[in-house]
Chain A
């Protein structure tokens, strides 16, 4: 028997075993197996359940363990169920629906959890757990944790990471790779010859033995092309660390599918076995919060790193709830969620309203105070015990939810609310650690704690959405409505308190309020926050005091205010902006950074008057950018427009830039799907030949050149947002020149217009 200390690096099911990889403290990597069969339960009418159990046993899909009792999720009462062990975990996702269809009256519980999740729940372990391992002859004997899931000061294992990148194209029937690069600790190897790529990469992998292969687009492009190449050339390509051959389907093509009212695009997935492949382009958490954020989520959710990386944040929060239910013996129903009770259309008007929004009073303001409720929705769920099984429970009647009069159970603490509490607390803890790191100037710790708290923030944000989400396991529309009703009530109370203390509310948006008061003293604010917090029972914090702040009108209807379209600078010079061009994904980088540069300059203005005096500086900058655009000095990649496809390319009609680009993609045989991103350049915006107006980046060549007029229009549109508080508007309409754009003169004025700029009227 041997003993070692390290981290649980990865786990996956093979037959009736779980394969476990450990990253040993000394740098070694250890593969062990542990016999494991996931447990599930079934209930329903006794004779149906009995027949189903016989069938499961006869086919060898599961082994019955006998009848037992577990807690019903909805009622909290004990329920008799038959326990089974799933014998072929890998094929269970295919066999379960067949049994379910054959025995429609049988109710299934805990039946569709991942085997890896079940293993972690049952053994009380989690990915990246630091532990002491006893093993013998490749088999795990015991596993003792040395840290906890809720610990905040855990250490992540030191991992060997290699970055794999490549260039090529998926165009046409035969995907091609022009070059392949592997980078590791500052060393870079590049292969340009197709004949050398696989061999070279394989040798490098064998030699470096990386734990992690990082890519940008490895799932949708690199790995499928590499596997296809290996198949074509009969090369034994083995990117896994696991010595056994792994089941893997090679697809170069993702798929779009219709799911609960939305078109989703799913890229193929290429996880590795015994090492990780992480694709930044196929991982929200990795892209947003890096490895630290990903580790935090994997540990809490108890889902292996490669899998949780490729799933939505909701999967993480849902797995935390599942784990809690599992450990407490609460049955997790499969597919059966309670339908909504009848409610009258009048009740629906009241309850289906979302958060409370007071439209902003459009204008340019000084000394605005912004107060934000901290994680308002999760806090409501946690403090007021809102959970699917506690709303309108059968046992109580208190009509406690404001406005809509739903009852909240007084006897049971809800699963969702209980699962949230430690996450909220852990995030508060991380934020305190982050502040401490900022004080001591420890950049490493700051980054680590920031990423972890940010990953938790996304989980919390998601949690509310999941409560109302149609397909969520612990979703229930009434619980969702109860949270919204409480949030509206709290904003109303906040407004009353503010007004009683002489403040005027300019705007409120779901969980934050913007208030002003002539000649207020900064010392008043803590008392105000405290009163709001005690009156609402929810934490509220000062987001900041703005030196100046603009609430912008709608672009389409200039008289109409729009929530979440504003920008401002706090007293410390920090900018905050929402809903303006530089936040939009479908604006080119060049235009966005131009707008941001204007805002950053504006952030140095001490007040509104100072802001207005900056207009000449703004105009000078804009003129320079327009010159750069006209003279073709802007690199093309900064002008690329990226838009997500809402339907398949060939289904686009119309002559807007996006439709034209989508049809170009379809005509070129480019394999794009609804849900994927389209990248293109505006080449000749007014061209009679519509096909020449835009050019997909994938089809761009030496002759492709951006149309300066189109980009100048976009630039002016973005600039006008920043100029609005100063009452200045640039002409956004198409200038009349019909000359070659490159030679067009600097003026873009319309006939009869005296100046480049017209005064903005309000």
Chain B
């Protein structure tokens, strides 16, 4: 049952006219999707809050990791092994074991991102089946305002061209990004990518997510169940928050919790020592 839910998530199809980027082609049937990863040559693009990436990815792990390795290109410093493995464990996977089959590279400039896409993809994995590549927070670095728009546009075009080339191999692709700002022309190569496109949105209640444009009667209940009510992890993840809740994998604090925290800028040791805590007045 869990398997079905997790896998069909990979085939969320936006149908309502409200959906910002209509689908070029619809998946043939949800039944196909339920059994394994998206077929070769397919690519899924999801618009979602940046911080939800690890949890959503963990939710998809069962489908993606079936005899495959998952390679994450993290453009927004969002991949959190704890949140990921917990989301995967909720779906019956061994959180410990899958961590050896997930690989990550973090990129901090658009030029590094371009170098990864051009030089490190497709990854030379040891397994027979083609790899799954997840581009997490693809938009993030391209929002950098100290770079010229023309330069960013050129690099984005080069990255997307390379990803389209990968679509023609046995690589499966997942692209995640946040709702882009209005300058849609700039983002077009990214927005038009993906044989399946949809969006994960935080719901009205805290921690609730829904899939926008997913209109397929009973299945929509399934999806919403997966992402909100039925999913312990996403419940625990407030919109825009980072990381998961209590997690067996997280080391107890006395064994060396990260002093610098994940995600934010790595601060020098002194500023940690002088750092404030507690609530503002």
Residues of A within 8 A of B (CB): 97, 100-101, 104, 257-262, 335-346, 348-349, 352-359, 376-377, 457, 461-462, 464-465, 468-471, 475, 477, 480, 484, 488, 509-512, 554-556, 562-565, 578-579, 581, 583-587, 641, 643, 656-658, 714, 717
Q: Which residues in window 93-107 of B have CB below 8 A to A?
A: 98-107
Q: Is the beta-carbon distance between A509 and B259 smaller than 8 angstroms?
A: yes
B91 within 8 A of A: no
Q: Complex Cα distance A341/B98, Å?
A: 19
Known: A477-B106, A509-B273. A468 touches B266 (CB 8 A): yes
The DSSP consensus for interface residues of chain A is mixed
Provide a sorted-by-A list of 28 A–B residue pairs whose CB atoms are within 8 angstroms.
Answer: A97-B151, A100-B151, A260-B265, A261-B77, A336-B115, A337-B109, A338-B112, A339-B113, A339-B115, A343-B104, A346-B100, A348-B104, A349-B249, A353-B258, A354-B266, A359-B253, A465-B266, A468-B266, A469-B265, A475-B108, A477-B108, A509-B259, A510-B259, A564-B274, A579-B276, A643-B280, A656-B280, A657-B280
Interface of B is mostly: loop
**Is the pair B102, A353 in contact by a Cβ cutoff of 8 Å?**
no
Shortest distance from the beta carbon of B181 to any chain A beta carbon, whole Å: 10
Known: A97-B151, A343-B103, A465-B267. 8 other contacts (CB 8 A): A97-B150, A339-B120, A344-B104, A345-B81, A345-B84, A353-B256, A510-B272, A586-B281
Partner pick for A259 among B115, B144, B148, B154, CB 8 A cutoff: B144
Interface flag for B143 (CB, 8 Å): yes
In the complex, what's the smallest C-beta–C-beta distance from A552 to chain B, in angstroms?
10
Alpha-carbon separation in the docked complex, A552 to B143 (Å): 41
Distance in Å: Cβ of B145 to nearest Cβ of chain A: 4
Question: A342-B104, A344-B99, A348-B104 known; A461 and B112 CB under 8 Å?
Answer: no
Q: How far is the CA of A578 from the CA of B154 in the complex (A)?
A: 47
Residues on A with C-beta less than 8 A from B98 are 345
Give the Cβ gap from A454 to chain B, nearest Cβ, in Å. 11
Verify B108–A260 contact, CB threshold 8 A: yes
Report A188 CB to chain B, min CB distance, Å: 36
Chain B residues near A471 (CB-CB < 8 A): 108-109
**In contact, B116 and A339 (Cβ under 8 angstroms):** yes
Q: Give the number of residues in B that approach A within 8 Å (Cβ atoms).
A: 66
Binary interface encoding of chain B residues 58-96 relative to chain A, with 1 for a CB under 8 A from any of its CBs, else 0: 000000000000010000110101101100000000000
Pairwise interchain contact A260-B281, C-beta atoms closer than 8 A: no
Q: Which B residues fall within an 8 A CB radius of A?
A: 71, 76-77, 79, 81-82, 84-85, 98-109, 111-113, 115-116, 119-120, 123, 140, 143-146, 148, 150-151, 154, 158, 249, 253-254, 256-262, 264-281
Chain A's nearest CB lies how many Å from the CB of B38? 21
> Which residues of chain A have C-beta atoms less than 8 A from B140's C-beta?
261
Measured in the bound complex, the distance between the Cα atoms of B109 and A562 in whole Å is: 34
Chain B contacts of A512 at CB under 8 A? 273
Indicate whether A336 sits within 8 Å of B111 (C-beta atoms), given known contacts A469-B266, A556-B279.
Answer: yes
Of A354, A457, A465, A470, the residue contacting B259 (CB under 8 A) is A354
Give the residue name and chain of the A residue nearest to B108 (CB): A470
Q: A509–B257 Cα gap in the complex (Å)?
A: 11
Question: Given A344-B99, A376-B269, A354 and B71 touching (CB < 8 A)?
Answer: no
Closest to A511 in B: B269
* CB atoms of A358 and B254 under 8 A apart: yes
Pair A579/B275 contact, Cβ less than 8 Å: yes
Q: What residues of chain B lie closer than 8 Å to A555, measured between beta carbons?
A: 277-279
Report A-chain residues with C-beta under 8 Å of the C-beta of B264: 261
User: A510 to B274, alpha carbons, bound, how many Å?
Assistant: 13
Q: Which of B101, B116, B273 interacts with A564 by CB under 8 Å? A: B273
Choice from A101, A480, A578, A657 contacting B274 with Cβ under 8 Å: A578
Q: B269–A461 contact, CB under 8 A?
A: yes
CB distance from A581 to the nearest CB of B (A): 8
On chain A, the residues within 8 Å of B112 by CB distance are 337-340
Contacts of A509 in B (CB 8 A): 259, 272-273
Q: Which of B105, B111, B253, B259 contacts A337 (CB 8 A)?
A: B111
> Are B265 and A342 in touch, CB under 8 angstroms?
no
Q: For A344, list chain B residues within 8 Å (CB).
A: 99-104
A336-B115, A339-B115, A345-B102 are known contacts. Are A562 and B277 too (CB-CB below 8 A)? yes
Determine the chain A residues whose CB is within 8 A of the CB of B145 once the complex forms: 257-259
Cα A54 to Cα B46 with chains together (Å): 45
Contact B277 A554 (CB under 8 A): yes
Q: Which residue of A lies closest to B252 (CB)?
A: A359
B154 touches A104 (CB 8 A): yes
Interface contact A349-B81, CB-CB below 8 Å? yes
- Residues from chain B with Cβ under 8 Å of A341 in the complex: 105
Q: What B residues does A354 contact at CB under 8 A?
A: 258-261, 266
**Nearest Cβ on chain A to B57's Cβ, whole angstroms:** 10
Nearest CB of chain B from residue A206's CB, rounded to whole Å: 39
Q: Are A583 and B103 in contact (CB under 8 A)?
A: no
Contact A356 B256 (CB under 8 A): yes
Nearest CB to that of A484 among chain B residues? B260
- A510 / chain B contacts, CB cutoff of 8 Å: 259, 269, 272-273
